[in-house]
């Protein structure tokens, strides 16, 4: 037994009392099966899967009224393809999904809306193409702003560039000035190292080579 159990609804002649929480079976045949109506374990599921086609049929309503004594004040519904987009076999779930509304008639009346709501302020926006004169004015103002900015910033840039160039020139001159002095110092240092080596390796006696043979 699940919540999805749904069966066609009918009217039965049953005298046996229904005991809750017990399995109930109908042995007798139904007196009348209601077209489109469903019953189930959960009334909501059964209702959503049911249709209202019996309410469009006068003979169906007459049988239900005669067997149950209910729905005496209900009149037959009239269906027309031109007046309704829902057919008699449309399920109740579909009707609920569409809020039982045949069609939406959207009429915009800002004057009535303003009078009823009575807002303190009202603002609106709209899309409009730019005029040629407006575009030219915007471009001219942008270029004039760039010109003023360059006129103000250019002297500062020139000073910075000249200062960096002068620093590079001074560094190069300093390197060239100390380069000959450095070369002279290297030569003296090499000469002193040569003298030191000669003094250490000085030999006042002639070298004699002895060749021994066996």
Q: pLDDT per residue over 95-140, tens digit each?
A: 999 998 988 888 888 888 888 888 887 777 777 666 677 777 777 7
- Find all residues with CB under 8 Å of 12, minimum gap 6, and list them: 26, 28, 30, 31
pTM for this prediction: 0.46
Q: pLDDT per residue over 153-209, tens digit each?
A: 777 877 777 777 777 766 555 555 555 555 666 777 777 777 666 555 544 444 444
CB 44 within 8 A of CB 30: no
If you average pLDDT over residues 39-61, what whole number do you get?
A: 92
Report residue 147's pLDDT band, with 50, 70 and 90 as the boundaries: confident
Strand partners, 33: 10
For residue 183, give the 3-state DSSP assignment: helix
**Closest Cα partner for 35 from 8, 6, 13?**
8
As a whole number of angstroms, the distance between CA 1 and CA 119 comes to: 58
Write the DSSP assignment of 92-103 as a string of letters.
HHHHHHTTT-S-
> What token pair was written down for 87?
């057919």
In the block, residue with structure tokens 């057919």: 87
């Amino acid at each position: 037994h699940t919540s999805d159990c749904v069966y066609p609804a009918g009217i039965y002649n049953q005298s046996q009392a229904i005991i809750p929480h017990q399995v109930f079976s109908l042995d007798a045949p139904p007196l009348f099966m209601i077209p489109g109506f469903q019953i189930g374990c959960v009334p909501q599921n059964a209702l959503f899967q049911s249709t209202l086609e019996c309410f469009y049929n006068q003979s169906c309503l007459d049988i239900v009224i005669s067997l149950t004594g209910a729905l005496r004040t209900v009149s037959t519904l009239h269906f027309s393809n031109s007046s309704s987009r829902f057919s008699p076999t449309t399920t109740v779930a579909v009707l609920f999904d569409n809020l039982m509304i045949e069609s939406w008639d959207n009429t915009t009346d800002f004057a009535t809306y303003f009078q009823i709501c009575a807002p303190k302020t009202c603002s609106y926006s709209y899309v409009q193409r730019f005029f040629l004169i407006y575009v030219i004015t915007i471009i001219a103002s942008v270029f004039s702003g760039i010109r003023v900015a360059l006129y103000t910033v250019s002297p500062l840039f020139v000073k910075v560039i000249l200062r960096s160039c002068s620093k590079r020139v001074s560094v190069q001159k300093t390197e060239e000035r100390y380069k000959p002095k450095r070369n002279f110092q290297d030569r003296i240092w090499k000469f002193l190292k040569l003298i030191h080596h000669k003094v250490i390796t000085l030999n006042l006696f002639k070298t004699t080579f002895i060749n021994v043979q066996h």
